[in-house]
Amino acid sequence: MDPSILIIDDSHAVRQQILDILRKTSLFNSFHEAGSVIDGFKIALNNPVDVILCDLEMPGMDGFKFLNMVNTRGELRDIPVIMVTGREDQETKIKGLEQGASDYVTKPFDPAELVARIKVQLKIKTLQDSLKESNQALLELSNTDPLTRLSNRRCLMEALEREYKRSERSKSPLSLIMLDIDHFKKVNDSYGHQEGDVVLVALADMLRHHLREYDMAARFGGEEFALVLPDTDMPRAVQVAERLRESAGEMTFSGILRNLKLTISLGVACYPRGNRIKSVDDLIRLADYALYNAKGAGRDRVEVMEG
């Protein structure tokens, strides 16, 4: 953690006074200062800041204007802003708090009180950041297959629904590839389930490597995977599927799996194409049926199902 503070005040002497006070503490490793609201806003946008100390009365744009500007940017809204003012009236303080200020310090301020109020806001910000990280980790866990680290089936269905609606609106193509490891039961029977897991993870890594940033690879269940390809028509999707099939055949393993020759079968469906796809379920059904045909036609191949 590298805590930082931004001090906005049109008086260089006041800024220096605050910096002298804070540098005697161990609260912050980085210090930023600005002599105007505009300069302070630019610094906040371009640098990680944990606490902002902002003078209320400044020529041109005042502290209230700064609060309004902060409220327009989502990435700044969680940064605590402590207003510094020479005013004692409650109306001014209430107005600032209603507009998003976290606290007030009144001039002339006591150094100990200033440090104490900043320390409280820094602690709150630290706890908020920690909570965000925990929530993000939980979200990733709820959307991720624990073995392969690809998206899980629930996340896949949500993404498919979202991309399908987008494709409906924009009339852009959406392709779905279903793929399955050929004879995977023999892998588990011959080498054990732990080695079977090694194969699944390796295949997942290969899929992740070959797809675009906005594509999605998901574990559909067992040894079956699904690939969502937005803005991809049928010919392009077939090219992707063939490339993945060839890459799977080139995969090598070590140890007990060193002689394993891996092949996969793939089925491709695309929307809009024909009139048989009216929903996400139809798209999945056709891709899965194409995969079934690939299995039936001898495996290690790509089959398509027209919509």
Active site positions, annotated: 223
Which structure tokens are listed for 65?
């204007």
Task: Count the residues in the chain.
Answer: 307
With CA atoms as reference, report the closest residue to 233 among 285, 174, 291, 184. 174
Tokens of 131: 């909570």
Among residues 210, 148, 220, 224, the alpha carbon closest in space to that of 180 is found at: 224
Cα dist. 225→120, 148, 161, 186 in Å? 49, 10, 17, 18
What are the φ/ψ torsions at residue 125 (nearest 5 degrees)?
A: -65, -40
Omega before 235 within 30 of 0, i.e. cis: no
- Measured between alpha carbons, how far is 173 from 274 in angstroms, rounded to an integer? 12
